Amino acid sequence: MNDLKSLATYLNFPVAKLSLDQKEKILVWKEKDGKTLRGLISIAKYLSRNSSHHKQFTGESIEERAAIDQWLEYRLNNIDRAHQEKDTNAFIKDINTYLEDKVYFVGHQLSLADFLLYYGLHNLIRDLTFYEKQKYMHLSRWFDNVQHAENVRQTQTLIPFQKNILYTGSAH
């Protein structure tokens, strides 16, 4: 829930419209006129589309918008539901490889995909050792970049990354 609250703040929407449906364990966004949105992706996309700020945030082309959709789905179904170590290891490795030649998840600027993946990965990255952060260096580089982007981090703790190489291959 913290991620959508931060997203609402980032896009200048009132956070009070957000609540959690306890029975179905799903996030709900209620507008004054009765319009209701349910689910992480649906709410996030609704807010991004209706925001007057950050036009590029939802993608600049059909291709970019489709890629953003895909990564939001990946966050919801792969990252959020990974409760076994092998599932967690798989997505960390995959994302690290994916980001090898990229600054942002999609396109050349910060998008909704970066925003929600940053929030989805925060606690996991916080618990990595410096050795692991170095091992997943592309993921770490991306994360450090996003956490320093204006207004993204908000109340999340700033995670430290080592700028110089701590461990050399021969030592391990």
Smallest distance, other proteins to C-beta of residue 128, A:
18
Cβ nearer to other proteins, comparing 104 with 149: 104
Q: Are 44 and 7 in contact (CB under 8 A)?
A: yes
> Contact with other proteins (CB under 8 A): which of 9, 17, 28, 42?
42
12 Ramachandran zone, left/alpha/beta (phi>0; psi -120 to 50):
left
Scanning residues 8 to 37, which ones bind other proteins (CB under 8 A)? Answer: 25, 37
Q: Are 79 and 117 in contact (CB under 8 A)?
A: yes
45 makes contact with other proteins (CB under 8 A): yes
Task: Return the closest-CA partner of residue 74 out of 102, 95, 56, 48.
Answer: 95
Selected binder of other proteins within 21, 31, 87, 132 (CB under 8 A): 87
Does residue 98 touch other proteins according to CB under 8 A?
yes
Q: In 3-state terms, what secondary structure has residue 146?
A: helix
Q: With binding defined as CB under 8 A, does residue 46 bind other proteins?
A: yes
